[in-house]
Structure 1
């Protein structure tokens, strides 16, 4: 009977070695630990299947640690499973509850480890590091400000940044660019806000904020700032005059017509009056 169990266990181990769908269970849990635990189970095949609890979305998310913490992550889980192996008995009726308890503890502790960001994140499904799908250099954002007015720019990304970061602000005057060599350092520190109290033409250009975590670049954010001169304001009457003049023919733009009281009588009117006086004079002569 014991030989039969060993044969079944051997077949299960072989299947595990060639099963590509095990995901995080195969990646995180060492085969010898599974074997040691499942030798105490009533149903060896079902015992191996129960380790699929490590393929849950919660485990996958908790395991997304930075590359330097992948091995500590696996070592921490191995310790928990060794403790489980010591706690369970043959045909232990509380096996599933004890296994789930270790999984919950693993999720809680793994979630406290540093997350993976731009330089790589661990994915336990294919069991490898994967590069972040976000670009290191964000697209340039356009900003504008009226000359003499204040403006603020924030060093913030579209994803969660690691804790304890430092920000380095740089400036490329008058240019719209992402070429690193065109920038000069302006200020660095913890503050993610860059403020200009009164904008001038010298403030026009591209601003770069580089976020660093442990002296490693996480993301670079760019703003192109355009400084515009103050608006020239016209009153209502001045705008109305300009509009009326624009409707006049070209030759009348600079000379307005004389007022009606100063206009001379037409030739037709003068001729009519002269003819009427001549007829009246002839009638008086008889």
Structure 2
């Protein structure tokens, strides 16, 4: 800009041309500077891909106003997979700085959706973390966190939670162990401390243990009862046969 204006100032001091000529040349210099300045990359404080970011607004010299980041409020859905009875956490993190006075609303829907009318409010406060201590199939679905500041929404994040049932995990681990055995030529893989601590050797739920033990106890009682009944039915037959043999012996004598 200085390089284009300084020659005009020297000519203007010498009054080489009329004021109209200098006015036209100044307008041309200004337009030339604007065209070159628009091609220079500007430092942006915007962090994709979502959220209304006030701090990331950049002043536009051509329009003489601040340009917003122009990102949507809704962020892409994040997939979360967890095994049954395991702990899982979802954090409403954003890359851009948040104001100090925020309010966080967590919502939930049983299906995979981003429709607000299907999402029901779960909690409200300032906690960006949502935790499930022990996940079960009924926890599966869509979780949404929406951040507000001064009553205005600035970002919405979505998490789709999938809970793998314990039976599926057990079948998958047994299949993996079977495949490892085939690869090793029929030799069972060595059981390491990590394997003992892993999910392969985890005990089933207490309710399942109770059902199994009750079934075994009933089977044992049924077996004992059948054995007693069989012994009771056999004793009269043996006594009758013994009496018959004694009578035949008496006849032959």
- TM-score, with length taken from structure 1: 0.44
- TM-score, with length taken from structure 2: 0.48
